[in-house]
């Protein structure tokens, strides 16, 4: 891509991209820390994670202010306008990802006193790992303007949904086996749901990268794998 | 199917049609313009729809004004200028030697960058064209044409009490709308506008743009502009010229959101090409 004739315009775009990348990095760390706090039952890490969500919110506001100023000053069109609009949408997804991760950290605080049977965390760990990989790839696709990579992320979200289904079943089974598990499992279920939602926001980011690169809005139906809303399990009576 | 419908369909089939299915008013095929040795405009092919605004954009010296001036044969006035190729309006070749150029210029009105009212009264500025083309038989007919033209140009309410005042005494924006009234007084089909707002303040510009938007219901309007935002606001189709060639032409929305040619993208986003 050629440079703008007005050099300061390019500098503004660079700054916008730098802030977005910084937000992305913070969102990744927040998710990793939130899960670590949950798995290790570490209230200090959980509290620090909750506090660090504020930096993401602050960055989002900074991006928003700069983007509005750029629109007013430069009256961007074509790929420049797409660039600014996608950054606005992507940072709003990153802000939501931060919120959802913070929510996981809050649950880590709530369950920090309870004993976790180890296998209970396996499903959630897999989900977190997949969500982390998705987020990393989506952010890489953004920084390298890689439509192919964004498309891969978009297709892989169904895998995270499928994992969520199995975690959902698994946690329900634990609850049915022993009612003393219900408190903990409910928190973990919400945690799993939050990770699944993080996957959806990551897919939004991938869609926005595709729009940024190709200039065509993604209209294909997303591959969906989350069936938990229609899942029914009855407790065994025997 | 009745006979008239069949005839109409046949006529529509043979008439040039733009990509949107709109009837093409102005059709250019392989148009070249030379100023002496200089090949200023190269192999331009374009269909310009009726009842709409087409914007010509491009850097200075790209040939957009040259092409605009071909459409009412203004280039004939330049001795060293040679035009080849074919331009038709309503399927009639406008470079046909039997065609009356004065009549052509009545059908193809032009508005310039700098408002250029005659040093005459507001009334006479508008009445001049209808008079020389014999469009009014009586004084009252002439008055009706002047009133209607000033109304269409959105100027009537501002000047109705001082039609005898000099046209040059109006503000810049009013002068430009007076020139538009003068252009539409002779019932043109096509209105060419060469940077009509570049000498106007934002308020006068907004008024002229509103006027262009109203006029497009009845005329084929072609506007040359250096303001990308203006082209995006007022036109339905945009043509980008670069170094004498027509690089890309299409619906304005597409040109300004996802241009196909790198040169178009570089120009509209202000990049070095």
Instruction: Kindly list the residues from chain B whose CB atom is less than 8 angstroms away from the CB atom of residue A3.
Output: 271-272
CA distance B253 to chain A (A): 10
ipTM topping 0.85: no
Residues comprising chain A, all counted: 238
Distance of alpha carbon A211 from its chain centroid, rounded?
Answer: 19
**Angle ∠(B208,B51,B54) on CA atoms, nearest 5:** 65
**Angle ∠(B224,B17,B44) on CA atoms, nearest 5:** 45
Q: Average pLDDT for residues A190-197, to the nearest whole number?
A: 97
User: Residue A166: pLDDT band by 50, 70, 90 thresholds?
Assistant: very high
Residue B92 resides in a domain: yes
- pLDDT tens figures, A204-234: 999 999 999 988 888 888 777 778 877 766 6
Kindly report the average pLDDT of chain A as a whole number.
92
Given this model, what pLDDT does residue B245 score? 97
Given this model, what pLDDT does residue A216 score? 84
Q: What percent of chain A has pLDDT over 70?
A: 96
Given this model, what pLDDT does residue A218 score? 81
Residue B158 resides in a domain: yes
Distance of alpha carbon A135 from its chain centroid, rounded?
Answer: 6
Residue B122 resides in a domain: yes
The answer to whether the CB atoms of B269 and A76 lie below 8 A apart is yes
Q: Average pLDDT for residues A93-113, to the nearest whole number?
A: 94
Structural contact between residues B224 and B191, judged by C-beta atoms closer than 8 angstroms: no
Q: Average pLDDT for residues A40-52, to the nearest whole number?
A: 95
- pLDDT tens figures, A106-154: 999 988 777 766 778 899 999 999 999 999 999 999 999 999 999 999 9
Residue B47 resides in a domain: yes
Residue B273 resides in a domain: no
User: Residue A101: pLDDT band by 50, 70, 90 thresholds?
Assistant: very high
The answer to whether the CB atoms of B258 and A215 lie below 8 A apart is yes
Helices (H), chain B: 3-14, 64-71, 101-107, 122-132, 139-152, 156-159, 172-184, 202-215, 228-234, 252-257, 262-268
Based on the structure, what is the number of domains in chain B? 1
Instruction: Kindly list the residues from chain B whose CB atom is less than 8 angstroms away from the CB atom of residue A4.
Output: 269-272
The answer to whether the CB atoms of A77 and B272 lie below 8 A apart is no
Distance of alpha carbon A158 from its chain centroid, rounded?
Answer: 14
CB atoms within 10 A of CB A228: 16
Q: Average pLDDT for residues A167-171, to the nearest whole number?
A: 94
Domain that holds residue B207: 5-268
The rounded average pLDDT for each run of 10 residues, N- to C-terminus, in chain B (273 residues) is 49 54 88 95 96 96 95 92 96 94 93 94 96 93 96 94 96 95 95 94 92 94 96 97 97 94 95 80
Given this model, what pLDDT does residue A231 score? 74
Give dist(CA A29, CA A52) in Å, integer.
Answer: 10
CA-based end-to-end distance of chain B: 55
Structural contact between residues A26 and A55, judged by C-beta atoms closer than 8 angstroms: yes
Given this model, what pLDDT does residue A103 score? 97
Give dist(CA A218, CA A210) in Å, integer.
Answer: 7
Task: Indicate which CATH number applies to the domain containing B144.
Answer: 3.40.50.300
Q: Does residue A80 carry a pLDDT above 90?
A: yes
Q: Which residues contact A151 (CB under 8 A, 6 or more apart)?
A: A206, A210
Residue B227 resides in a domain: yes
Q: Does residue A198 carry a pLDDT above 80?
A: yes
């Amino acid at each position: 891509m050629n440079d703008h004739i007005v050099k300061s315009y390019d500098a503004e775009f660079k700054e916008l991209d730098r802030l977005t990348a910084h937000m992305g990095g913070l969102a990744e760390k927040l998710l990793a820390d939130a899960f670590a706090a949950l798995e290790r039952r570490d209230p200090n890490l959980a509290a620090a994670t909750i506090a660090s969500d504020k930096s993401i919110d602050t960055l989002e506001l900074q991006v928003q202010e700069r983007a509005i100023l750029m629109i007013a000053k430069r009256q961007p069109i074509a790929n420049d306008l797409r660039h600014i609009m996608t950054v606005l949408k992507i940072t709003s997804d990153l802000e939501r990802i931060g919120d959802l991760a913070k929510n996981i950290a809050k649950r880590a605080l709530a369950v920090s006193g309870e004993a976790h049977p180890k296998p209970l965390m396996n499903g959630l760990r897999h989900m977190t790992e997949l969500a982390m990989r998705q987020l990393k790839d989506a952010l890489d696709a953004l920084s390298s303007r890689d439509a192919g990579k964004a498309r891969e992320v978009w297709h892989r979200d169904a895998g995270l949904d499928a994992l969520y289904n199995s975690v959902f079943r698994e946690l329900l089974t634990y609850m049915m086996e022993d009612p003393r598990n219900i408190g903990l499992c409910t928190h973990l279920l919400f945690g799993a749901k939050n990770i699944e939602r993080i996957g959806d926001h990551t897919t939004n980011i991938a869609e926005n990268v595709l729009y940024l690169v190709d200039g065509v809005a993604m209209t294909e139906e997303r591959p969906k794998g989350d069936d938990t809303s229609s899942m029914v399990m009855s407790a065994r009576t025997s | 199917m009745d006979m008239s419908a069949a005839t109409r369909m046949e006529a529509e089939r043979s008439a040039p049609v733009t990509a949107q299915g709109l009837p093409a008013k102005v059709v250019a095929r392989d148009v070249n313009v030379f100023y002496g040795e200089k090949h200023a405009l190269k192999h331009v092919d374009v269909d310009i729809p009726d009842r709409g605004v087409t914007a010509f954009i491009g850097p200075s010296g790209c040939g957009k004004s040259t092409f605009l001036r071909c459409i009412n044969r203004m280039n004939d006035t330049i001795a060293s200028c040679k035009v080849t190729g074919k331009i038709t309006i309503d399927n009639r070749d406008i470079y046909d030697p039997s065609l009356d150029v004065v009549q052509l210029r009545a059908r193809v009105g032009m508005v310039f960058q700098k408002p250029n009212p005659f040093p005459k009264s507001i009334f006479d500025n508008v009445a001049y064209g209808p008079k020389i083309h014999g469009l009014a038989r009586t004084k009252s007919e002439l008055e009706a044409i002047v009133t209607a033209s000033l109304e269409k140009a959105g100027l009537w309410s501002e000047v109705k009490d001082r039609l005898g005042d000099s046209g040059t005494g109006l503000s810049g924006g009013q002068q430009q709308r007076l020139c538009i009234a003068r252009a539409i007084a002779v019932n043109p089909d096509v209105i060419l506008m060469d940077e009509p707002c570049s000498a106007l303040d934002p308020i006068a510009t907004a008024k002229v743009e509103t006027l262009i938007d109203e006029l497009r219901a009845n005329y084929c309007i072609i506007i040359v502009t250096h303001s990308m935002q203006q082209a995006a606001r007022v036109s339905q189709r945009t043509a980008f010229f670069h170094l004498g060639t027509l690089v890309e032409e299409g619906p304005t929305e597409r040109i300004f959101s996802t241009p196909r040619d790198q040169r178009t993208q570089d120009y509209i986003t202000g990049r070095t090409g």
